[in-house]
Each structure stands twice: as C-alpha cells, then as structure tokens.
Amino acid sequence: METHVTLRGTSSVHARLNPALSNAFVYSLAANVPVYMAQLPELLFRLHLGCKFTAEQLRGVVESVLGRARETGARNFTEAFLAKYPDIGYLQHNVYLGAFLREIAYLHPQRILGVVSTHFMDMILKELNMARQEKLPTLASFLGLPEREENDTNEDLVEKHAILDAIYDTKVWRERYVENMFMYLDLDKKLIKEEDVRLYKRLFMSHYKHYSGLVQSLANPVSADHPSPK
C-alpha cells in the first residue's frame, strides 16, 4: 500500500534544522513516495486572523496575557499567548491543515502519514474529526482573501495588524518582499493615496511601539524601586 507523507514546517529553514524531517523527506523522495509540505502562508494567516477578531478583542487578549504572565513569572509574551490562547494562535493554521489533509485523502485514498509537531496533534485531530462531519471549511476557501468586517474602519485594521505583529514578535508587513504593507486595506496599493499611506504608516508604528512595549515589558521588567526615566 502506497503511503503519502505530509510534512508540516514553518519554513525550509526548519526542515534543514530538523534531522528527522529532513530524513523523512529525502527517503520518501528516493522511494518515489508523493510528498506534500503544507503550511498556511503567514500573510494569509494574518489576513484571516485580522478579520476574525475586533481590535477591542485583541486589546483584551494582550491585557489578559500580560496579567497571566506576570502571575506565573513568564518572560516570553508570545509563548505565554500561545499557551493561554492556543485556539487563536494556531486556529487558522490547524483548520487549514485539516482541510489540506482532507483534500489529500480525497485525491489519494491510500494510507497517509502526517509528520507534525506533537503539541499540534490534539488540535489537528479535532479538525480532522470536524472534517469527517463536513464542518470544516474547504481548502478552496483559504485560497481566497477573507472579507473584512463591515464595521471595521481602516484605522481599526491598522491597529489590529500592529497588535498581531507585537503579539507574534514579528515584522510581517515590513518584510522586504511585501510590496503593499496595507494589502488588508486594498490589494492594489495604487488605489491607496500616498498621503493615506504616510498616515497609516505613522498610525501603524504608533500602535506597534505601544503594544510592543507592553510585550517587551515581560522580558525587561522595570523594578518598582527603579522606575524608568521619563
């Protein structure tokens, strides 16, 4: 019986650093076993996540994680966030992977071997169970762009994505390969006025600095006896 191997890695770098993953990949190819590497692209993940929650909800998430982290002495905000809110942190990734595996199962009715991180297993099994009940979105639904919430203003969206960048400690929208850092406002950057782009950049950085400062406060706590200079 032919086995199809599905490998999940966040990037090619992770594949190089993980010997087991690399070996499985090479030996599978040598045995002419079809290999699929599945991962929801980060930009698409952020677009979906930005449409799923309101700015107020994300502000609440930051406050809640900070409170819990200070109680437990956690120093890494992103890890504390993923531990407290795994459904938010991994939800779209896992739903996507569940939809992906279902699609592969339809294409290849043979046995499928999935290689995933152990802490993803329970969530992925949950998504696969939903797939069996036809409650899981189709893979095609992820290939389009999510629709923004009707009540979301451009300013709301800018704040939400600044919060998400701070939460994940990334600069997704400021990477060199991103030509339009406000694609969640309009895919065609030519349709966004230059003066608006400058305004949104200032707004984004203002929000990012604020929330990033809160996030970094865990790693660099300031003693109450030695407050930071103003």
Domain that holds residue 129: 3-219
Distance CA 111, CA 103 (A): 13
230 within a domain of the structure (yes/no): no
Whether residue 227 is contained in a domain is answered as no
pLDDT band (50, 70, 90) for residue 18: low
pTM of the model: 0.74
Residue 16 lies in a domain: yes
Kindly report, residue by residue over 179-209, the tens digit of the pLDDT: 899 999 998 889 999 999 999 999 999 999 9
How confident is residue 211, by pLDDT bands cut at 50, 70 and 90? Answer: very high
Q: What does the pLDDT look like over 86-119, one tens digit per residue?
A: 777 777 777 787 788 778 777 777 666 666 666 5
Q: Is residue 96 part of a domain?
A: yes
pLDDT tens digits, one per residue of 35-89? 777 777 888 888 888 988 899 999 999 999 999 998 888 888 988 998 888 777 7
3-state secondary structure 38-72: CCCCHHHHHHHHHHHCCHHHHHHHHHHHHHHHHHH
- Residue 226 in any domain: the answer is no
Smallest CA-to-CA distance from 70 within 169, 215, 230, 211 is with 215
Is there a domain that residue 161 lies in? Answer: yes
Q: Is the pLDDT of residue 169 over 70?
A: yes
Q: Is residue 120 within 8 Å of 104, Cβ to Cβ?
A: no
224, part of any domain: no
Residue type, 147: E
Q: Give residue 132's pLDDT.
A: 61
Report if residue 158 sits inside a domain. Answer: yes
What total number of domains does the chain contain?
Answer: 1
